[in-house]
A = this chain, B = another copy of it.
């Protein structure tokens, strides 16, 4: 069998990070960003065969995106190059020590023009897991249809479908999101959300227990509720399990949720039990927050235990 361990798709952005205030100018550094590509990299670093699909601009910025994904060992053979549309961009500014501010330039981007046809070849190659997020259906009509089609197709083909709600308030309203994501959740085996996103895959305003119950009823096998510094809760038909976060010094929380998801799915691919999957999930989350960048600090397989029993200021000689 040739297929992938995990296939994911969405928009990969070029993130321009500014150390100081954007309005006063200064140096920017380029980074690859994107909830789905973060997950893909997280799994590729752990040795899983991982592919990312989507649409990139056919210019230097699109090539930058592909260079980064290839460098990380993520398969990009099925990526579409769009000669008409520009790369999606984001500006990331450290506004204060506690507050990061993001500005998007993604309307009309290559990534937002994702179409069902862009995903056919990658899905045809086969995959054990299909991962998608609630960002992609918010990008455009065609991206919405592509998301639905991919979830349905993978689900029918027996792949585990994982949906991370990932609500982006600047892209659509909670009501619009719910109308799309709630049906989409029906294809998912694993549903990931932060506590305040949960009712986007249930009734508006419903509490956690009610939403989770509904999801389990609809066939979702695992509901993962991300709690930031408090770790996560995992609901299955067998009940709920809480995993605390690892005690690390947090320097950059962007990408922590994607790392958590990548860790969980890696545990699934390795056949770990729920406790083991959650342990790996919070481990990857810890790496993500303890280092700079959305994904740059994620661990390779031989590094998974680096943060265990760590004293601040440790040196590994």
Residues of B contacting A296 in the complex (Cβ-Cβ under 8 angstroms): 20-21, 24
Query: Would you give the shortest CB distance from A202 to chain B, in whole angstroms?
Result: 22
Chain B residue contacts of A67, Cβ below 8 A: 23-25, 71-72
- Please give the distance in Å from A259's CB to the nearest CB on chain B: 12
Shortest CB–CB separation between residue A76 and chain B, in angstroms?
10
Q: Does A275 contact B (CB under 8 A)?
A: no
Decide yes or no whether A243 CB sits under 8 A from chain B. Answer: no
* Contact B254–A315 (Cβ < 8 Å): yes
Stretch at the interface among A89-97, A154-162, A215-223: A89-97
Binary interface encoding of chain A residues 29-41 relative to chain B, with 1 for a CB under 8 A from any of its CBs, else 0: 1110000000000
Q: Could you tell me which residues of chain A, from 151 to 195, have a CB within 8 Å of some CB in chain B?
A: 168-170
Of the candidates B22, B61, B70, B228, the one whose C-beta lies within 8 Å of that of A91 is: B61
Query: Is A239 close to B, CB under 8 A?
Result: no
Given A102-B315, A314-B99, A316-B100, also A20-B293 (CB < 8 A): yes
Interface residues on A, range: 35 or more
Give residues 82-106 of A contacting B (CB, 8 Å): 86-87, 89, 91, 93, 95-105
Contacts of A240 in B (CB 8 A): none
**A291 interface contact, C-beta 8 A:** yes
Residues of B within 8 A of A271 (CB): none
Cβ-defined contact, A64 with B25, below 8 A = yes
Whether the Cβ atoms of B68 and A70 lie closer than 8 Å is: no
C-alpha gap A28/B296 in the complex (Å):
17
Q: Are A30 and B25 in contact (CB under 8 A)?
A: yes
**Cβ-closest chain B residue relative to A25:** B30
Contact of A132 with B by CB under 8 A = no
17 A-B pairs in the complex with CB atoms less than 8 angstroms apart:
A21-B297, A24-B64, A25-B31, A27-B30, A28-B29, A59-B103, A87-B105, A96-B249, A98-B311, A98-B314, A99-B306, A99-B307, A99-B310, A99-B315, A101-B316, A104-B317, A105-B105
Give 8 nearest A-B pairs by CB, closest first: A253-B313, A96-B290, A71-B71, A22-B60, A97-B249, A23-B63, A67-B71, A28-B28
